[in-house]
């Protein structure tokens, strides 16, 4: 790896060190890049306005565009979003962890903080993410690593060259990251609606909604 970013850690070789640093950065307003169960993502604390501004500036995207949040469990999710019924709760348990992002209505407290009625969440099928999310016990920003209008970047060396001076750390893996975004469904109403089809087909997901 290129040494342009001092804090550049191979999670395959330094897993515990990476988790420790990512946790410190999260709670101290840092912005970092990390692998997920789909593509590499910018990460940070979604309740820190400065973090949101930094990521939005780096990506060069309109600040009204909202980000997907990774979460460690449905139990933690229930602190931030309104899960309408046991049926919805069971449905979420049946589809996660997987590259499936779900739009839900936020509870009143979270709505006030994020300034939005809904939010998109996912429990990722990724060892690093799940361990990290278990440490922070909060939502984590996850948005593709690219400038607005450009293709997402998935090669750690190219990511370093492009974003090395604008982030606090890069957590990377030697394993191939699959270039395919998550499927996004809207669960803010009575039944799931497809917003974007990705790695997992909507027809397969809907089978779990009985």
Per-residue pLDDT tens for 134-153? Answer: 999 999 999 999 999 999 99
The predicted pLDDT at position 180 comes to: 78
pLDDT in tens, 92-134: 999 999 999 999 999 999 999 888 999 999 999 999 999 999 9
* Rounded-to-integer distance, Cα 110 and Cα 79, Å: 9
pLDDT in tens, 182-199: 999 999 988 899 999 998
- Contact present, 7 and 24 (Cβ < 8 Å): no
Q: What mean pLDDT comes out for the span 161-180?
A: 87
Task: Tell me what the pLDDT averaged over the chain comes to.
Answer: 92
Q: Facing residues of 120 across strands?
A: 68, 103
Q: What mean pLDDT comes out for the span 144-165?
A: 93
What pTM was computed for the model?
A: 0.92
Both tokens of 151, joined, read 């293709």
| 5 pLDDT higher than 90 | no
> What percentage of the chain reaches a pLDDT higher than 70?
94
Both tokens of 80, joined, read 């931030």
The predicted pLDDT at position 3 comes to: 43
**Location of structure tokens 């948005």:** 143
Residues 6+ apart with CB under 8 A from 148: 59, 60, 61, 62
CATH for the 8-208 domain, from 3.40.50.1390, 3.90.870.10, 3.40.50.300, 3.40.250.10: 3.90.870.10
What is the number of helices (H) and of strands (E) in the chain?
Answer: 8, 10
The predicted pLDDT at position 1 comes to: 42
- Contact present, 157 and 2 (Cβ < 8 Å): yes
Tell me the H-state helices in the chain: 15-27, 49-59, 74-77, 86-95, 108-114, 127-136, 156-163, 202-205
Most confident of 4-18, 32-46, 163-177: 32-46
The predicted pLDDT at position 147 comes to: 95
H or E segment to which residue 142 belongs: strand 140-144
């Amino acid at each position: 790896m290129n040494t342009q970013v001092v804090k550049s850690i191979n999670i395959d070789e330094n897993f515990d060190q990476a988790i420790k640093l990512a946790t410190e950065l999260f709670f101290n307003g840092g912005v970092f890049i990390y692998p997920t169960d789909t593509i590499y993502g910018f990460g940070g604390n979604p309740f820190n306005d400065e973090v949101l501004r930094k990521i939005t500036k780096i990506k060069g995207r309109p600040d009204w565009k909202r980000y997907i949040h990774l979460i460690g469990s449905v139990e933690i999710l229930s602190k931030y979003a309104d899960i309408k019924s046991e049926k919805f709760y069971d449905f979420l348990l049946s589809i996660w962890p997987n590259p499936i992002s779900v739009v839900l209505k936020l509870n009143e407290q979270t709505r006030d903080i994020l300034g939005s009625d809904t939010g998109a969440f996912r429990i990722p099928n990724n060892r690093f993410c799940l361990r990290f999310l278990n440490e922070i016990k909060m939502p984590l920003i996850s948005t593709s690593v690219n400038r607005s209008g450009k293709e997402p970047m998935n090669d750690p060396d190219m990511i370093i060259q492009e974003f090395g001076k604008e982030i606090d750390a890069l957590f990377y893996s030697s394993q191939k990251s699959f270039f395919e975004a998550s499927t996004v469904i809207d669960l803010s109403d009575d039944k799931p609606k497809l917003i974007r089809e990705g790695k997992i087909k909507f027809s397969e997901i809907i089978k779990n909604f009985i």
